[in-house]
């Protein structure tokens, strides 16, 4: 069963439009859709669509306190969130760093939230040795003092190179690089699920369907039900082959 995470980002503007989005999603076998709506819709959507797994797009690493505008892991869990996205490239562009992301991961894991941890190089790196060095650096900082084996079922790693985000296919990551990333993690004995999220849309999803991925992180295309349904349909109908 593939996991497809619909990251709505700061959309839509009204709860009725959020309901409409979900009602226009089709159900496919072999695909489990998880959704991260804006936090203001999370509780109401969870109460209405009880069979869907909902999560949050971000958390603060402290449980409570004088952090104006922030929401903690315990708060989102208390209203029904099952998972949280951490270290998304758009958060990094806003000034967050890997040390902050590490604190968020620890905070989420402490209360048994599933963490979808985004990881990927900021700029395109063509040299494989340099690329692996960058991945290693990020892994070490993100999972400092985190037992990856113990938490393997509560961590999902999303390969999401910043340079490939919002490129609508013009800067899609070559499938061999995604394959190298998967092998890189497995060689380090990281047993968590691995998903891909570098500007996935219906025109390029087939590039990655024969790779040993556990799913996909979908951004803008999850706001267009026709396109999102097509992506899920292609995932369902694909027959995995060896690379």
Residues 6+ apart with CB under 8 A from 165: 89, 90, 198, 199, 219
Catalytic, 60? Answer no
**Chain length of the chain:** 243
CB 175 within 8 A of CB 196: no
β-strand partners of 189: none
Tell me the Ramachandran region of residue 140: left when phi exceeds 0, alpha when psi lies from -120 to 50, beta otherwise.
alpha
Read off the pTM.
0.95
Q: What is the mean pLDDT of residues 43-65?
A: 97
Catalytic, 19? Answer no
Q: What is the mean pLDDT of residues 33-60?
A: 97
Q: What is the mean pLDDT of residues 78-93?
A: 95
Please tell me which residue in 62, 90, 160, 187 is annotated as part of the active site: 160
Q: What is the pLDDT of residue 192?
A: 98
Token digits for 5? 């995470």
- Looking at residue 210, the DSSP 8-state letter turns out to be T
Please tell me which residue in 62, 63, 88, 145 is annotated as part of the active site: 88
As assigned by CATH, the class of the 2-237 domain is alpha beta
Q: What is the pLDDT of residue 2?
A: 96
Q: pLDDT, tens digit, for every residue of 147-168?
A: 999 999 999 999 999 888 765 4
Q: pLDDT, tens digit, for every residue of 130-150?
A: 999 999 999 999 999 999 999
Q: pLDDT, tens digit, for every residue of 163-217?
A: 887 654 455 799 999 999 999 999 999 999 999 998 898 999 999 999 999 999 9
Q: What is the mean pLDDT of residues 87-108?
A: 95
Q: How confident is the model at residue 4 (pLDDT cuts 50, 70, 90)?
A: very high
- Looking at residue 27, the DSSP 8-state letter turns out to be P
Q: What is the pLDDT of residue 172?
A: 78
Listed by start position, the domains of the chain span: 2-237
């Amino acid at each position: 069963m593939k996991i497809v995470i619909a990251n709505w980002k700061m959309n839509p503007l009204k709860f009725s439009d959020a309901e409409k989005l979900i009602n226009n999603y089709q159900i496919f076998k072999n695909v489990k859709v998880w959704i991260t709506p804006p936090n203001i819709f999370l509780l109401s959507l969870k109460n209405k669509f009880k069979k869907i797994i909902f999560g949050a797009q971000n958390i603060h690493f402290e449980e409570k306190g004088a952090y104006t505008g922030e929401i903690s892991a315990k708060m989102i869990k208390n209203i029904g969130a099952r998972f949280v996205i951490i270290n998304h490239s758009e958060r990094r562009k806003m000034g967050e760093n890997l040390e902050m992301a590490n604190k968020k991961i620890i905070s989420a894991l402490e209360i048994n939230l599933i963490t979808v941890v985004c990881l990927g190089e900021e700029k395109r790196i063509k040299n494989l040795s340099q690329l692996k060095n960058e991945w290693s650096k990020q892994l070490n900082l993100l999972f400092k003092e985190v037992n990856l084996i113990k938490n393997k079922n509560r961590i999902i790693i999303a390969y999401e190179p910043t340079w490939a985000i919002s490129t609508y296919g013009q800067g899609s990551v070559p499938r061999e690089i995604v394959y190298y990333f998967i092998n890189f993690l497995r060689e380090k004995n990281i047993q968590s699920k691995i998903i891909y999220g570098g500007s996935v849309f219906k025109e390029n999803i087939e590039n990655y369907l024969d790779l040993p991925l556990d799913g996909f992180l979908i951004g803008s295309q999850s706001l267009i039900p026709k396109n999102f349904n097509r992506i899920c349909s292609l995932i369902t109908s694909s027959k995995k082959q060896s690379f």
